[in-house]
Structure 1
Amino acid sequence: MTHKLPIRVYYEDTDMAGIVYYANYLRYIERARSEWVRELGIDQREMKEADGLVFVVRRVEADYLAPAKLDDLLTVETETVQLTGVRWILEQRVKRGEDVLFQAVVTVVMMTETGHPARMPANIRQMVH
Structure 2
Amino acid sequence: MQQEFQVRVYYEDTDLAGIVYYANYLRFIERGRTEWVRALGVDQAALKRDEGIVFAVRRVEADYLKPARFDDLLTVTTRLVDLGGARIELEQEVLRGGERLFAARVVLVCLSDAGGAVRLPAGVRAKLAPVHH
TM-score band by shorter chain is over 0.9
Structure 1 equivalent of residue 77 of structure 2: 77
Give the 3-state SS of the residue equivalent to 1:61 in structure 2. strand
Structure 2 equivalent of residue 68 of structure 1: 68
Structure 2 equivalent of residue 36 of structure 1: 36
> Which ranges of structure 1 fall in alignment gaps of 5 or more residues?
none
CA distance in structure 2 between the aligned counterparts of 1:12 and 1:96, rounded to whole angstroms: 18
> Which ranges of structure 2 fall in alignment gaps of 5 or more residues?
none
- Check whether the contact 1:55–1:111 (CA below 8 A) recurs between aligned residues: yes
Tell me the TM-score normalized by structure 1. Answer: 0.97
CA distance in structure 1 between the aligned counterparts of 2:87 and 2:72, rounded to whole angstroms: 33
> In the alignment, is residue 118 of structure 1 matched against residue 118 of structure 2?
yes
Tell me the TM-score normalized by structure 2. Answer: 0.94
How many pairs align?
129
CA distance in structure 2 between the aligned counterparts of 1:128 and 1:29, rounded to whole angstroms: 18
Runs of 4+ in structure 1 displaced over 3 angstroms? none
CA distance in structure 1 between the aligned counterparts of 2:43 and 2:17, rounded to whole angstroms: 39
CA distance in structure 2 between the aligned counterparts of 1:128 and 1:98, rounded to whole angstroms: 27
**What is the deviation of 1:48?**
0.7
CA distance in structure 2 between the aligned counterparts of 1:6 and 1:77, rounded to whole angstroms: 9
The alignment's C-alpha RMSD in Å is 0.7
